[in-house]
């Protein structure tokens, strides 16, 4: 699904058989609201919801990392934001179990995590990780569609 909101476009490509992303319009509006609150415009963000196998291939090929991860963000343009974000649905499911939360909350956390990186937040040290987690929690509290 692709949704245009003014000049913003967010696309979801789901590569997982038998998985459907609900509330896409609401998710798009939520993500655009977050970017606008940070005075950033989105030209195009493509979220690719994929498997562990595919994200491992991407991680190896483009980042020379040989491990699974929940998200890989590839910025294309900084302003307005243009990017491709890969999310491993398998990792998100496992994280939800590990952190004792529901899958959709963890998926939304990972989605907004990628957007926050594009806005300028990082998680390279403990202080930055804590700031990122606080920002994720704040963004999650703004969802009105859950």
The whole-number average pLDDT for the span 132-143 is: 96
Please give the CATH topology (third level) of the domain spanning 2-141: Collagenase (Catalytic Domain) (3.40.390)
Per-residue pLDDT tens over the stretch 5-59: 456 799 999 999 889 999 999 999 999 999 999 999 999 999 999 999 999 999 9
Q: Where exactly are the structural domains of the chain?
A: 2-141
Cα distance between residue 11 and residue 30, in whole Å: 14
DSSP strand E in 15-106: where?
42-50, 71-77, 81-88
Angstrom distances, CA of residue 132 to CA of 109, 110, 112, 123: 11, 11, 10, 6
Q: pTM of the full predicted structure?
A: 0.92
**What does the pLDDT read at residue 146?**
65
Q: Which of 108, 110, 142 shows the shortest CA–CA distance to 38?
A: 142
């Amino acid at each position: 699904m692709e949704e245009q909101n003014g000049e913003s476009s967010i696309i979801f490509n789901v590569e997982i058989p038998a998985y459907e992303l609900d509330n896409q319009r609401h998710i798009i509006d939520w993500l655009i609201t977050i970017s606008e609150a940070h005075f950033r415009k989105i030209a195009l963000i493509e979220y690719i919801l994929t498997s562990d196998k595919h994200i491992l291939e991407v991680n190896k090929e483009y980042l020379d990392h040989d491990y699974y991860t929940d998200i890989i963000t590839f910025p294309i343009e900084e302003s307005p934001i243009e990017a491709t974000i890969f999310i491993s649905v398998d990792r998100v499911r496992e994280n939800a179990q590990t952190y004792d939360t529901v899958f959709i909350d963890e998926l939304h956390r990972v989605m907004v995590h990628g957007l926050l990186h594009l806005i300028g937040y990082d998680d390279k040290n403990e202080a930055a990780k804590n700031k990122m987690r606080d920002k994720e929690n704040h963004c999650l509290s703004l969802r009105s569609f859950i």
